[in-house]
């Protein structure tokens, strides 16, 4: 362990009143939840961008004009609504680092994800679950919410704090930022590593708000989780469910939130 890393870890491990931690907290817009933010967003976004380019080069992208148009239309409509809302709140700056992009990958897997910085992918398999534009907006809203709430930055920061992400710490402090190890880690953050329960619930809540702001029917979200549950019966859970808690009481929560959200954000 080099000198830099030793002193960095010492600072982190000190106490929650450490000046480093005090200046390293962020606040999630709308929910106002405080979150750890040690990992530089610019680095995570750059690595996500690289990883996304690789995925685009290596995956079979769908050529279906209708679905591609639908995906882009839903994505653009929601992100514009979010940007307008944040602008009205005076919080546009927190979206400055986003460069939204939407791709449809030809793959039967029931999956969709959003990498840091707004790099989104849907797999054609999940179109059986989304069914229509409102359904697509429900999944899109949820994925956009993970990105806007900067859940990946939070998780990378937590990994550093817990001394789990030793590779990341080395990389950060040694300046080897183009390391493929970091790219791999970012891919894991964006696609494979499950978000925590709190982050999932927050993405459900914000996702509902975002699709509502864009004028979609937010009750479509309930159908999504019902169909996800149905699809997971009697076989291995769909990819999307393996990285998300099972539908169960999240439908109940969504039903509770909808009237409040309709009143406030329609």
The H-or-E segment that residue 27 falls in is: strand 25-27
Angle at 145 between CA 220 and CA 31, to 5 degrees: 105
Is the CB of 134 or the CB of 239 nearer to Zn ion? Answer: 239
In whole angstroms, the minimum distance from the beta carbon of 245 to Zn ion comes to 9
CA distance 124 to 172: 36
Closer Cβ to Zn ion, 26 or 203, answer by number: 203
224 touching Zn ion, by CB under 5 A: no
By CB under 5 A, name the one of 148, 203, 241, 254 that touches Zn ion. 203
159 near Zn ion, judged by CB under 5 A? no
- Known active-site residue 143: yes
Q: What count of residues does the chain have?
A: 266
Q: How far is CA 206 from the centre of its chain?
A: 11
Nearer to Zn ion, 85 or 113 (CB): 113
Taking the complex as a whole, the smallest distance from the CB of residue 231 to Zn ion amounts, in Å, to 16
Annotate 215-257 with DSSP letters as a single string. T--TTHHHHHHHHHHHHTTTSPPPHHHHTS--SHHHHHHHHHH
Candidate list 101, 106, 133, 143, residue with the active-site label: 143
Pick the stretch among 25-33, 109-117, 196-204, 205-213 that binds Zn ion (CB under 5 A). Answer: 196-204
Report which DSSP code applies to 236: P
Residues that bind Zn ion (CB under 5 A): 203, 244
Residues marked as catalytic: 143
């Amino acid at each position: 362990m080099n000198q830099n890393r030793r002193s960095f870890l010492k600072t982190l491990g000190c106490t929650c009143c450490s000046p480093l931690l005090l200046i390293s907290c962020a606040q999630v817009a709308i929910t106002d939840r405080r979150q750890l933010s040690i990992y530089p967003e610019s680095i995570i976004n750059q690595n996500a961008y690289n990883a996304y380019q690789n995925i685009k080069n290596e995956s079979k992208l769908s050529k279906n004009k209708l679905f591609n148009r639908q995906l882009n239309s839903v994505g653009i409509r929601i992100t514009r609504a979010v940007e307008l809302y944040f602008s009205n709140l005076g919080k546009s700056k927190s979206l400055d680092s986003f460069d939204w992009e939407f791709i449809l990958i030809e793959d039967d897997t029931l999956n969709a994800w959003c990498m840091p910085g707004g790099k989104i992918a849907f797999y054609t398999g999940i179109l059986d679950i989304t069914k229509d534009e409102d359904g697509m907006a429900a999944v899109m809203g949820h994925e956009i919410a993970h990105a806007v709430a900067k859940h990946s930055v939070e998780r990378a920061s937590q990994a550093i704090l817990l001394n789990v992400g030793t590779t990341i710490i080395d990389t950060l402090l040694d300046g080897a930022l183009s390391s493929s190890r970091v790219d791999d880690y970012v891919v894991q953050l964006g696609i494979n590593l499950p978000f925590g329960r709190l982050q999932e619930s927050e993405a459900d809540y914000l996702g509902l708000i975002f699709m509502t702001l864009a004028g979609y029917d937010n009750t479509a979200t309930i159908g999504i989780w019902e169909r996800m549950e149905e699809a997971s019966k009697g076989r291995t859970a769909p990819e999307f469910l393996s990285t998300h808690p099972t539908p169960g009481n999240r439908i109940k929560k969504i039903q509770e939130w909808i009237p409040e959200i309709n009143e406030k954000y329609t």
